[in-house]
Structure 1
Amino acid sequence: MRDTLTLEVNDLVVDVLTGIYSEETGKPQPLRISIAARYQIADRYEPDTPLDASKNYMDLKFAASGGLPQGVHFKLIEAVADHICTTLFVQDARVEAVTIKIVKLAIAEANEQIGITLHRERPAAHGA
């Protein structure tokens, strides 16, 4: 097994325009978003290793918050997850794979977690 590095942001609550039912459309609803991004690993991480040898955690947070287009209604939370994955792949060529977990907080009745987990590997380069 090869070495891997996974950066994570967990349990970020973001209001997103999403849903297919009339009571969901037109107003944002809270989603709990967790992101795990597998990253190309450096040979070593020494005490003075600079940040550019890894990825800034705030990039993951941005992809799930400020990186979501304002005013766009996502019918499915799968589309929200897909947008986050695409944003992370575009941000940094060293991101190899992304797993997004989204929980729809507004539909929980007894603290259950209802949602999806989407995993995407970096698309293969054309001509490869």
Structure 2
Amino acid sequence: MTDSLTLEVADLEVDVLTGIYSEETGKPQPLRITVQARYAVADRYDPDTPLDASKNYMDLKFAASEGLPEGVHFKLIEAVADHICETLFVGDARVEAVTVKIVKLAIAEADEKIGITLHRERPRGEG
């Protein structure tokens, strides 16, 4: 069995310009975003292992919030998820895979969770 390490930032609420319907365009929509990043694991994590042997959780949070381009309208939340994945791949060659779950909060009527989950593996030959 191969070791792996997955970092996660869950249930981050972010306002994003997204949507295809007239009532959605022109104003940000609240999204609940969860990001998981799997990356190359160190041989061992001792009590004094430095942060650079891991990935900073704040990089995941940044990719799903401030890392989204301001003023850009994403027609699909799939494009939002894709941008988050790409941001993490470009930012750290050790990232092997990214999973992004997005729930559109504005369209829920009875507290249901409506959204998508996108999983991307780093393209072969990159990194």
TM-score band, normalised by the shorter chain?
Answer: over 0.9
Which amino acid in 1 is paired with 2:84? I
CA shift for structure 1 position 59:
0.2
1:57-100 per-position Cα deviation (integer Å, ceiling 9, x unaligned):
00000000000000000000000000000000000000000000
Aligned to 2:108: 108
Residue aligning to 1:18:
18
Q: Which residue of structure 2 aligns with residue 7 of structure 1? A: 7
* Alpha-carbon shift at residue 49 of structure 1 (Å): 0.1
| Paired amino acid for 1:74 | F
Q: Which TM-score applies when normalising by structure 2?
A: 0.98
Give the aligned partner of residue 93 of structure 2.
93
CA distance in 1, matches of 2:28, 2:124: 34
Equivalent runs, 1:55-66 vs 2, <5 Å:
55-66=55-66
Any gaps of 5 or more consecutive residues in structure 1? none
- List structure 1 segments (4+ residues) > 4 angstroms apart after TM superposition: none
Identical-residue share of aligned pairs (%) = 84
> Structure 1 length as normaliser, TM-score?
0.97
Aligned counterparts of 1:87 and 1:118: Cα–Cα separation in 2: 14
